[in-house]
Structure 1
C-alpha cells in the first residue's frame, strides 16, 4: 500500500483517480484549496488535506507531501480565460509540487500534462491557449530536470464520456480525444509499474487495453 498525494485533488481527473487508487490498495490524499470538498472526496475513498497551490509556500508544499510515497500533479487553471492562472496553477503549482516533493523526500512523481505542448504555438492561437501550452511545456521540462522518478502523461482533448478501458499510448500519437476516466486509469497503472519512470507519453483513446498499452510503452 502506498500513500499517493494528488495535487488538484478535486479536479475532474483526480476524482476519477481516487477510487482506482483505493481499488489498487493505495491511499489517495486529495490536496485541495478548501475544506468544503472534504465530504465528497472522502466518499470516493480519499483522505483530504488543504493546499492552496497559488498561495502556498515551499514549507506548505513539503508539509502536505511529507509521508507520501508518490505525488500526482493533476491541477489545472481551468477554461476560465485567465492567462495568469495558467502560470500560477499549471506551472507554479507544478514547480511548487516538485520542490515540495524533493524537500519531503518523495521521489515518485507523475504529472498530467497535455498533448503536443512541445510543438510551436500557431500565430492564430489565442493568448490563453498560448499561456496554457507554455505553462505545461515548462512544467514538464522542470520535472524532467528535477532528478525525481518522473512519468509525464500528455492526454489529448479530454471528454467526460464513460471509460473505454482502451487507449493509444506512445511518445507521440495522432491528436484525438480521451476520456478523463481513461487518463486516470493510465496514471494509476503508471504508478504501479516502476518501468514507467522516465517515460513521457501522449495519450488518446484507441484499441489497446490500458494495462497492455502501458506495458508496451515502457
Structure 2
C-alpha cells in the first residue's frame, strides 16, 4: 500500500510536532513546514522532510507542494501571539492546497473563534480578541474554498502525556483544556480514517486539570468519538 502524504504547516513545536511524530511513526510521508531560520532539531529527529517557508509569502507556501503531493492531506496549526499570520498565512495554505489538488485540509483554530465567540469570556476577548478575529477569517476562507475540511477549535492547550480522554464536540458552548498530545492524536485519527467531513468541532478533555486561575472544565455529554 502506498503511504499517505501529509504536509504540516506550523510543525516545529506543539501540536504540529506531535502530529508529525505520530504520522512518521505510522509510515506516512511527511513534509513539515517551518519558518526560515528556525531551530527544528526535535522535528528532524522524526525523519520527516523539513521545508522552510514564510507563511506570509504565497509563492513560498505554494512551493511546499512541488513534487508528488497530489492527494496529500494538509494540516495548518499556524498562529502567533500578534495574530499576524493567522488569516493571511492560512489563506495562502488554503490556496496552495487547492492548486496542489490536496485531499483535504485540517485547520486548528480556537474556541472563541467564529460562532463560538458568543460563549467566550470577556477576559478572553480582551486578551486575544484580535487573534480570534483573524482565526475566524481563516475559518471562513477554508469553508468557502471547496476543499474537504475539518476545523478543530481546542480549548486551552497544555503540555503533558496523552490521556486518551479528549473529546470532539459539535456544540460550541463549551470551555476547558486539552493536552497537545491528545489533540494531535485526535487529528491523526481523523486524517487516517479520512474523516474530514466539512465539520467544525470543539476539542476539550474533562480529565485535563486546568491551571488554578481558571474555572473547572465543563464536560459535555454530546462528545463525539474520533
Range of TM-score over shorter length = 0.7 to 0.9
Partner of 1:105: 101
- Given that 1:177 and 1:204 are in contact with CA atoms closer than 8 Å, whether structure 2 keeps it comes out as yes
- Given that 1:18 and 1:45 are in contact with CA atoms closer than 8 Å, whether structure 2 keeps it comes out as no
Distance 1:196 1:125 in 2: 29
* Greater mean deviation of Cα atoms: 38-47 or 2-11: 38-47
The structure whose residues are more often helix, as a share, is: 1
The 5 A counterparts of 1:67-82 are 67-68=68-69, 69-78=72-81, 82=82
Cα offset, 1:10, TM superposition: 0.7
The 5 A counterparts of 1:106-121 are 106-117=102-113, 118=115, 119-120=117-118
The 5 A counterparts of 1:134-173 are 134-172=133-171
When normalised by structure 1's length, the TM-score is 0.84
Query: Alignment RMSD, CA only?
Result: 2.2
Distance 2:197 2:36 in 1: 32
Cα offset, 1:25, TM superposition: 2.1
Counterpart of 2:11 (choices 9, 12, 32) is 9
Distance 1:38 1:106 in 2: 25
Residue-pair matches, total? 202
Unaligned 5+ segments in structure 1 are none
Cα offset, 1:93, TM superposition: 1.0
Partner of 1:33: 35
Deviations 1:57-102, CA, capped at 9 Å, x for gaps: x332221023331110011103xxx3xxx1x311111101001111
Partner of 1:23: 25
Unaligned 5+ segments in structure 2 are 208-223
- Given that 1:156 and 1:177 are in contact with CA atoms closer than 8 Å, whether structure 2 keeps it comes out as yes
Distance 2:63 2:55 in 1: 13
When normalised by structure 2's length, the TM-score is 0.81
